[in-house]
Amino acid sequence: MKSSEARSAYNQIFSLLEKHHSWMQETINLIASENVHSPAVREAMQIDFSDRYAEGWPGERVYAGTKYIDEVEILGNDLTKALFRADFADVRPISGVLANLSVLTAFTEPGDRMMCLSIPTGGHISSARHRLWGTAGRVRGLKIQYFKYDEHELNIDVDATIRRIERLRKKGKHIDFFMFGASVFPFPQPLPEIVEVAKGYGAYVNFDAAHVAGLIGTNSFQDPLREGADSMTFSTHKTLPGPQGGCIVAHDQFADRIKRGVFPAMHSNHHLHHVAAKAVVMAEMLAFGKDYSQQIIKNAQTLGQSLAEEGFKVLGEHKGFTKSHVLLIEVADTPLRNGRAVEEKLESANIIINRNLLPWDKRFGRDYIRPGGIRLGTSEMTRLGMKKDEMTQIAEFMRRIVFDQEETQSVAQDVAQFRTKFQKVHYAFDTARDAYEYIKIR
């Protein structure tokens, strides 16, 4: 490639980046696994730490030049411990998947057996079987068994799961590791009774709080470390509105093994600018997180109610739709017939959501490409200051697309107009810059 062509591609990259930022300013983003971070988190992410290495633990580094990095990482760990009321925190994992794999590496051997939720019932690919290329099965070599699931309650079926654990044990199939948590679980999971059985057999228990970490940190959902989990892994960019990354908190007696699972087992470079940004978001959450989390949940419940009133089949209605940031909606009976069509149509109207497999989809011959459901989350729009009235308005926009089959262009314009009033991040110390402002430093 000629240097003029390289220059043109280089310019094109920045033009696309700017377009993305402009588009984000006009969209309603309801992706449950995403969020928007504060200008402070953004500032921390563009520092020189991103050019450095600091392998190991503060005070035990394999690299020189880390004196300030060490202090920031220690602050990050201390703030994380305070937020999660934990003895031990490790902010080094560079993603939720690698946080999970670090703990699996620390506490299992290939061939061990793990119990978790299957993907159609909300489980994540990092806990899936070898055949599905799941991290636990394919990378760590674990044999996977599933929790029994109650489709009406949208939760783990405690009695049936305990019966399954005991039946498996009688057949010599002992469960060594329990992975609670999931990618879609609107209601707190029932840990204590299952943990009691698991502990009786000497199993290790981790809670994957990738989605709900912000809610847990602010005591707004459930509290896995007090409900029997040995450790908790999570992403730092979902209900916790930080940089993309991972984190682990645990009881003290597991600290040494977890540290080694993170380094040297699973990480070398641990993306130090993200460590700085994680420290910032933990401070923000300690100061503003309670109000933020409560509003996320209130907004999710209001959105659920408003969508139901607009004719959508929102699951979990008998339990108030959700106790977290997430809503699950069956769309197979709408004019658009499947989650993918709904996702595409809404995107062209500036509303960004995910299609989602429902627990019963396989029985109806549906798959992940054209599932029967969609998943919505309220973390990002709540961060922009939206409340009850805006949730009602969003439900109306969705009805115009999915049921009224209105021209997407006219809804897209209305959505962009609606978004003009919501350009700042809330629940943060410093919010001088707009949430999606394109900041040029070249």
Ligand X SMILES: Cc1ncc(COP(=O)(O)O)c(C=O)c1O
Which residue lies nearest ligand X, judged by its C-beta? Answer: 96
Q: Of 24, 182, 203, 401, which lies in the binding site for ligand X, with binding defined by CB under 6 A?
A: 182
Binding part of the chain for ligand X, among 74-82, 96-104, 361-369, 381-389 by CB under 6 A, reads 96-104
**211 contributes a contact to ligand X by CB under 6 A:** yes
Q: How far is the CB of 126 from ligand X (least distance, A)?
A: 5
- Residue 377: strand pairing partners: 326
**243 contributes a contact to ligand X by CB under 6 A:** no
The two tokens of residue 410 are: 């006219």
The two tokens of residue 212 are: 């709900």
Q: Which is nearer to ligand X, 247 or 398 (CB)?
A: 247
Q: How far is the CB of 271 from ligand X (least distance, A)?
A: 12
Binding mask 375-414 for ligand X (x = CB under 6 A): ----------------------------------------
| Residues contacting ligand X: total by CB under 6 A | 15
Are the CB atoms for 275 and 91 separated by under 8 Å? Answer: yes
Q: Of 208, 284, 310, 361, which lies in the binding site for ligand X, with binding defined by CB under 6 A?
A: 208
- Which of 314, 365, 374, 307 is closest to 338 using CA atoms? 374
The percent helix, strand, coil of the chain (3-state, each to 5) is 50, 15, 40
Binding part of the chain for ligand X, among 81-89, 91-99, 329-337, 368-376 by CB under 6 A, reads 91-99
**235 contributes a contact to ligand X by CB under 6 A:** yes
In the sheet where 326-330 sits, what is the strand order?
313-314, 326-330, 373-377, 354-356
Separation of alpha carbons 90 and 244, rounded Å = 15
- Which of 401, 402, 436, 438 is closest to 419 using CA atoms? 436
- Torsion over CA: 432, 35, 293, 351 (sign): positive
Q: Of 37, 42, 92, 124, which lies in the binding site for ligand X, with binding defined by CB under 6 A?
A: 124
Q: What is the largest CA-CA distance in the chain?
A: 70
3-state secondary structure of 55: coil
**181 contributes a contact to ligand X by CB under 6 A:** yes
- Torsion over CA: 138, 168, 116, 204 (sign): negative
Q: Which is nearer to ligand X, 356 or 382 (CB)?
A: 356
Q: How far is the CB of 65 from ligand X (least distance, A)?
A: 28
Q: Of 39, 76, 96, 186, which lies in the binding site for ligand X, with binding defined by CB under 6 A?
A: 96
Subset of 48-67 contacting ligand X (CB under 6 A): none
Instruction: Provide the 10 A C-beta neighbour count for residue 114.
Output: 24
* Secondary element (H or E) of residue 155: strand 155-156
Q: How far is the CB of 181 from ligand X (least distance, A)?
A: 5
Q: Which is nearer to ligand X, 142 or 349 (CB)?
A: 142
- Distances, alpha carbon 36 to alpha carbons 85, 293, 426, in Å: 25, 14, 10
Q: Of 24, 36, 97, 258, which lies in the binding site for ligand X, with binding defined by CB under 6 A?
A: 97
Q: Which is nearer to ligand X, 165 or 210 (CB)?
A: 210
Q: Which is nearer to ligand X, 190 or 336 (CB)?
A: 190
Strands 60-61 and 56-57, sheet pairing: antiparallel
- Tell me which DSSP letter residue 264 carries: I
Length of the chain: 442
Q: Which is nearer to ligand X, 208 or 343 (CB)?
A: 208
Q: How far is the CB of 392 from ligand X (least distance, A)?
A: 28
Which residues bind to ligand X, rule: CB under 6 A? 33, 95-97, 100, 124, 126, 181-183, 208, 210-211, 235, 246
